[in-house]
Amino acid sequence: MRLYHFLLPAVVSAAVSASFGAEFPNPYPAPAPGVRLTPEIPLSPSINGARIVGATPGSRMLFQVPVSGERPMKIQATGLPPGLKMDSRGLISGTAPSGKREYKVNIQASNRHGKDMKELILKVGDELCLTPPMGWSSWYSYSEAVGEDNVLKTARLFVERGLVNHGWAYINIDDCWQGRRGGKYGAIQPNKRFPDMKAMCDAIHAMGMKAGIYSTPWMGTYAGFIGGSAPNAKPDYGEMAIPEKERKQEDQIFGSYPGVHRRKADHVGAVWLFDRDAKQWADWGFDYVKVDWNPNDVSTTKRIRKALDESGRDIVLSLSNAAPYEHVEELGKLANLWRTTGDIQDHWGSVSGIGFSQERWQKHMRPGHWNDPDILQIGKLGKPNQPNTTFVQTRLTPDEQYTHVTLWCLLSAPLIVSCDLEHIDSFTMGLLTNDEVIAVDQDPAARPARKAWHQGNFQVWMKELSDGSVAAGFFNTGKEKGILKVNLKELGLSGAYEARDLWKRADQGTVQGDMAVELNGHGASMFRFSKKK
């Protein structure tokens, strides 16, 4: 048992920052293992999250402006186009304008501790998801036990824990929701754990968040439920299905993984039904769909894209899993995000192997189209392919979790968690509510990250930000603590820079020339370098 997971973490105050003109510590010290570095959330208002939001002309729109700080709070918007309004919580809703155009919306938030003002750009055009999506997936939480009750419970916890105030917006159902086909479209209907999908989506929307669902173009899903195609028009799966007495769940007709392969349901059937399903999701009110099969081929993705475009609703398309690299350009024109890997696991070998191999994918992303190195393995998790009712702490150490989140943010990766929120600890909350770290992920310029320097167990990854500053992650992939020594010129930085520790949210003085950073084993530090004037 790792006892440090259960210790009350020390909280570093944002007030403890280097004085103006001070020199950067040399070497910069590593934190004590297990310490929460993110300061407590200030009481004064802070407008967080995405600075640009996309919608298609005439579409229904929902966007919660993320604002942290003490309530009561007054949140106002000026410059919203006709058809859209914002309520007192900062929830923008209504119908997007019919023409393609950018609108600059000024947001102001104030309470008794102060005020904050930011500009939000609403881009009405052809693109959704102009910054990487942030949210929750049921897969590493409830897995085969996912149901309306625990989905809505999670959504309420997003509000109660304040995660919506930092940009966390999607509540996504993964596999295991499916029942049989029916309804006015002959679409997949939910199993008995989801008594009213529309009411559930409406409730999620009312809380200021968006709803996601899961499917596959295959006849069966990885967890053994029916998919977006069938062997015949009835549809009747006949001998493909396992006997009812052998099923873990009534509607799990192909059995748990790898049943979909054993029952030969792992391919697109003769009858395409995905378009019916897309119309049903639109009627229910879903905003996002994860479509899971392998390999992600271009021709099938075109059929999926067409079905979503004709559904009558803006729906973000997430491709899974392990998109073939040789087809990424074609897939990237059709999908909003695509998995660059198979399923991630909560151990260092998996996280580091995936994370540090992402550089070649970076040139293929752009606003609205993102590489997806899979779900964050932080906090307390359930076990995939099981009907989970309990959660256990991730096998990643605290330092490994810092590396995980730091690298994913530099990569402009979707930030999707799957942890237990009911019993979340302060350390995990610190990972999820550091707005300066999240801002690197959500930077509207979406410039690619690059591995700027690599020597032995040490790496430096860098990303140019829209304000002219540079975000940098310093990583130690070795097991032992060590000191990374590098000259800024080797990183492509000449002259003097003001360094800010993004995890501590504190200025650390001026750095020029040689720089040394002490790093724990499998640990990371994250800085923003701003050219000194």
Task: Give the three-state DSSP class for 458.
Answer: strand
pLDDT attached to residue 15: 37
Residue 334: CB atoms within 10 A of its CB come to 19
User: Half-sphere exposure (CA, 13 Å, Cβ side) for 375?
Assistant: 26
Amino acid at 269: G
Contacts of 533 (CB under 8 A, 6+ apart): none
pLDDT number for residue 21: 60
Query: From residue 236, how far is each of 180, 251, 324 by CA, in Å?
Result: 11, 13, 32
Same fold: 3-37+448-531 with 51-124: yes
pLDDT of residue 533: 85
Residues 6+ apart with CB under 8 A from 20: 507
Where do the domains of the chain lie? Answer: 3-37+448-531, 51-124, 172-317
pTM of the model: 0.95
Q: Residue 179 contacts by C-beta under 8 Å, 6 or more apart in sequence? A: 188, 189, 190, 191, 192, 251
Contacts by 295-300 with C-beta closer than 8 Å and gap 24+? 295/322, 295/323, 295/324, 296/320, 296/321, 296/322, 296/323, 296/324, 296/327, 296/331, 296/338, 296/339, 297/327, 298/327, 298/330, 298/331, 298/334, 300/217, 300/268
pLDDT score, position 388: 82
CA separation for the pair 48, 118 (Å, rounded): 9
Neighbours of 505 (CB within 10 A): 19
pLDDT score recorded for residue 326: 98
Least Cα distance to 146 among 212, 93, 87 occurs for 212
Q: What is the mean pLDDT of each run of 10 residues along the chain (533 residues)?
A: 34 40 91 97 97 97 98 98 97 97 98 98 97 98 96 98 98 98 98 98 98 98 98 94 95 97 98 98 98 98 98 98 98 98 98 98 98 98 89 97 98 98 97 98 97 98 98 98 98 97 98 97 98 91
The answer as to CATH 2.60.40.10 being correct for domain 51-124 is yes
Torsion of CA 298, 300, 305, 308, to 10 degrees: -160
Q: Are the CB atoms for 296 and 323 separated by under 8 Å?
A: yes
Amino acid at 370: W
Which CATH superfamily is 172-317 part of?
Aldolase class I (3.20.20.70)
**Are 444 and 367 within 8 A, CB to CB?**
yes
Could you tell me which residues come within 8 angstroms of residue 223 by beta carbon, excluding any fewer than 6 positions away? Answer: 143, 144, 175, 176, 252, 256, 257, 260, 385
Q: What is the pLDDT of residue 3?
A: 34
**Token pair 């309530």 in the structure block, residue:** 71
* pLDDT at position 389: 82
pLDDT at res. 272:
98
CATH architecture under which domain 3-37+448-531 falls: Sandwich (2.60)
Backbone angles phi and psi of 2, in degrees to 5: -90, 100
